[in-house]
Amino acid sequence: AGKHILVLLNGHTVNETWGGWVWVDDLFTLPIEVLDRIEILNGPGSVLYGTSAMYGVINLVSKSAEAQEGLGVELRGQLALPGDENNALTGKTASSGSEGARLGWGSRARLGFALPFVVHDRSGEFFVQLMRVNRQAPTHVYGPQTPDWDPGPNHYPNGDWGGVGGARRWITGGMIGLRVGNWALDLQGGNWRREQVTDYQVDFADPHNLERWSEARLDLRHDATLRAGMHLRSRIFGDYYDYHGIWNYTDPAFCGGVVGRCSSQERNHSGRFGIEEVFEADWFVDGKVVTMIGGDVRGRALEDIAGYTEYRTPLGNDQAFLHYLAVTAAGALFVQQRVQPVRWFGLNVGLRLDMDQLFGAHLSPRAVASFTPGKKGGTVIQLGYAEAFRAPYVGELLFNDPNAHVSASSLGGLRPEIVRSGELAFEQRLPRGVGSLRLGAYLNWYRDLVNRRTLTSAEFQEAVELGKANADADPNYMTTYDNLGRMFAYGGYLSARLQTPDRRFRFGTNIQGGDSWQIPEQGAPRTPVAIAPRVTANAHAMFIPGGALPRPVLGLVYFSPRRTVEDVSGEFKDVEAARAGHHIQGRLGLSGEVPAAGLSWGLWADYTLARRGPYLVGQLTYSDGMAFPGELEPLDRLSLWASVSWQFDVVAAARRARSKRGTAGGG
């Protein structure tokens, strides 16, 4: 997930500290079985949540122990078909001299335990969910590409970059939860490792190109009822992240200052900790006048180490070009007021002040007016305005490579990115609880977007004097981060949630259409926004026949054609870069249960009509006068899944055992 979307777990920020990213590998080591629901706030959400909530907020809410009670075990397997040089599902490959096509496969094992309990007249619950994922992606054919440098040992017979390869990943994760009365404690974490095929223009299919990531989150919450309608919510939280990336290159030009085969490496450790207090008062205990006041204090620490290793000697020749330790603090105060003076009108206004050592201070306002014209309250019209921001991250400010990139902090720092948004929405709730329809339109305008740019000659000389750049580095390829961009987006959307009165058939859809453009820097012409489709749509349908009959599920996703970053930025000067076409992906599934045995099963098939996605792969991501249009990433086309899980109710079994012993003793 990008750094402009804030992801929460039970209200706890998940976005990492270096650059604000969220890795979506199996819900970032979180077993999906612990989730009760996913709450999504579209549009700016900084008033309540602060930084990164520019495009929206996703809050993952865990289940109660009662909902996952007992001992659970799950096994899941996957098969995915490989593609040929055109990514067609033929199983044939180009004559590359490599090992040929391989099926993709995957496995997932889960072990969970949950137990409600009562202690000193207080209800409590405890649960543990652990999982392990292994996945070998199906192979795809890459290339051929003909760079002017050595593409590495794994290549076509004529020396061109590419061949047949597939990535691998391993994920271990879990969550432990404890609830006693008004207290809740969560410990969530895990680690993943993935071997790369083409990332960062590395040697093709080198098994030593890999990334490792570990994370741990601790969250302690308390909810106190002060009196009727008044609540105080408290939270103490802490996170730890550890990242290690290794990228190997046969050509030493990718590693500054070496003359032989080398690897580029980065390792960072980061932590985040803080406390949050929120007071909420429903003054007349009728929902008509509700005030929320809150604040938080946060600390961050990050150590980042980067360098090169040359493989000419058995021990290697290590050269570190970056090592910094940053400790920063931030805080926020916010207030939100909801009023409904009459039945047909309501107003929700809020204001948040964020103070951060990374950029200073920023105010985020929000106001939404709601109109309910009908007497039954089934129709709602909303008109809203909101602002949100994304603070510059530590990595954007402090990362420095003396041969390629100068830190933004040494050239004046960065301002927060800001979005202003207006929205008009119409919602109609249907009678008998059979669903709702929502129709809306939006207008967003962004400023101070952070982008890379090339240094001026004066900035390059200043960086050399500060020791941030090597004097013999090529100034034409020296970059830095800066607040350059402006972006505008407008469009409309339609969403529907429908079901039959008996809730056996359920259907949902979201359709969004619009356009966006950007001005990447002052004085530059207007350009399209890369990767952004003009139309997106998804739909899902489910039928629940009842009894032991299986439940069919159908899901569809659509994206209109998208342009690559390199295409929009002009890296392909003399040829038209490859552009991703229409993307249609479907999933068909069947699931069922054997209640008497505590078993459940599932079968799924995923099929993607599109053959390639909107990202360039390989060592050539520009034309530079060559008649090379760029190579788009191949997509996994067909995957088949099967799973079986077993759930054993420990508490019920214990009750039955006690009942039998009591009956036997009474006899």
Q: What is the model's pLDDT at position 313?
A: 58
pTM: 0.87
pLDDT tens digits, residue range 625-636? Answer: 777 888 999 998
- Tell me the range of 71-75, 339-343, 516-520 where mean pLDDT is highest: 339-343
Could you tell me what percent of the chain has a pLDDT over 90? 46
Lowest mean pLDDT among 62-71, 280-289, 351-360: 62-71
**Residue 114: pLDDT above 90?**
no
Secondary structure (H, E, C), 325-376: EEEEEEEEEEEEEEEEEECCEEEEEEEEEEEECCCEEEEEEEEEEEECCCCC
Q: What is the model's pLDDT at position 388?
A: 93
Question: Given pLDDT bands bounded at 50, 70 and 90, which one contains residue 317?
Answer: low
**Residue 154: pLDDT above 90?**
no
**Residue 110: pLDDT above 90?**
no
**Residue 290: pLDDT above 70?**
yes
Name the nearest CA neighbour of 385 among 362, 369, 371, 361: 369
Residue range 366-375: average pLDDT?
92
Classified as helix, coil or strand, 94 is coil
pLDDT tens digits, residue range 192-250? Answer: 898 877 877 888 888 889 999 999 999 999 999 999 999 999 999 999 999 999 999 99
**Residue 314: pLDDT above 70?**
no
At 49, give phi and psi (nearest 5°). Answer: -120, -10
**Residue 562: pLDDT above 80?**
yes
What are the residues whose beta carbons fall under 8 Å from the beta carbon of 665, sequence distance 6 or more? none
- For the chain, how are helix, strand and coil distributed in percent, rounded to 5? 10, 55, 35
Are the C-beta atoms of 359 and 416 separated by less than 8 Å? yes
Mean pLDDT of the chain: 87
